[in-house]
Amino acid sequence: MTAGRFSLYLDLIRWNRPAGWLLLLWPTWSALWLAQGGFPGWHLLIVFTLGTVLMRSAGCCINDVADREFDRHVKRTAERPVTSGKVGVGEALALGAVLALLAFGLVLTTNAATIVWSFAALAVTLAYPYAKRFIAMPQAVLGVAFSFGIPMAFAAVRSGVPTEAWALLLGNLFWVLAYDTEYAMVDRDDDLRIGIQTSAITLGRFDVAAIMIFYAVYLIVWAGVLANQTANDYFLAGIFVAAAQAVWHFFLIRSRSREGCFKAFRLNHWLGLAVFGGVALSLGV
């Protein structure tokens, strides 16, 4: 493989834009700490960290193949490797398959419950790229995909998924709705022109208000579910810092400018880090 080809593969999996896998990582790490009641051990930490990066990268390959006809009409995505023809469809799918298999190899080092749930996670990952063709708010499907590390983390630690894990997944889904609607606002004009569905289009003039509600639901659900486990100043500080960032995002997106909405989206991983930091410090790093 030439250096140029390797560079194209890195571009395909968004290696230079780590915000995507960080958005997956923070709730997954939070779930590991919560399931264990503290530091989950190096084995699970490494498995879920590498697995998150690998599956996000595989998802990028699948998404770019599925969206290649749409992406060529959007200024921000027209030069993606598959869309521009620099990487072939079969080549991208093969790379995605290799990355997914590597992630599955990591899952095999855990337990039977985690292995079973990994198939459900894969199914949602494969379904998301096509959701925007049929669902008015495909971000909800992405919300499930980007939250599935939570039940898998609980399964890896406890060999089962308790009710609290599903409640946390539901809360996290609203966070994904918030930041991916910000992302969709960047491309709203192009998406309207080419006829695909997004939450930014569906919500219309209520988009900013809805995003703030989504942030509030996320933080309220997580604070409510974890009130007994993490009832100390560290966790409350984490929630407060996350809430302050959500308020800042309101000022970034209220004018609906492309630059402001994209900046808000890119900075969301800091909001997730604040919540994780509160969880980890409250339980013991």
Q: What is the pLDDT of residue 232?
A: 74
> Residue 19 — pLDDT band, cuts 50, 70, 90?
confident
Residue 230 confidence (pLDDT)? 63
Using the predicted structure, report yes or no on whether residue 4 has a pLDDT greater than 90. Answer: no
**Where do we find the tokens 């298999």?**
101
Percent of the chain whose pLDDT exceeds 90: 60
Are 126 and 97 contacting, i.e. CB atoms less than 8 angstroms apart?
no
Q: Above 80 in pLDDT, residue 231?
A: no
**For the residues 82-109, what does the mean pLDDT come to?**
91
The whole-angstrom separation of Cα 155 and Cα 114 is 5
Higher pLDDT, 114 or 87: 114
| Boundaries of domain holding 135 | 3-283
Cβ atoms within 10 Å of 231's Cβ, excluding its own:
11
What CATH number is attached to the domain comprising 151? 1.10.357.140
Gap between the Cα atoms of 180 and 197, Å rounded: 13
Q: Kindly state the average pLDDT of the residues 246-258.
A: 96
Task: Tell me the pLDDT of the chain averaged across its residues.
Answer: 90
The residue length of the chain stands at 285
Band of pLDDT at residue 248, cut at 50, 70 and 90: very high
pLDDT at 126: 85
Look-up of token digits 């140029």:
4
Q: How much of the chain exceeds pLDDT 70, in percent?
A: 98
* Distance, CA of 222 to CA of 202 (rounded, Å): 26
- Indicate whether 279 pLDDT > 90: yes
**227 confidence band (pLDDT: 50, 70, 90):** confident
Q: Which residue has the higher pLDDT, 230 or 271?
A: 271
The pTM (predicted TM-score) of the whole model is 0.93
- Could you give the number of structural domains in the chain? 1
Q: 142 versus 243: which is more confidently predicted?
A: 243
Q: For residues 87 and 11, give the distance between their C-alpha atoms in angstroms, rounded to a whole number.
A: 10
| Neighbour tally for 230: CB within 10 Å | 23
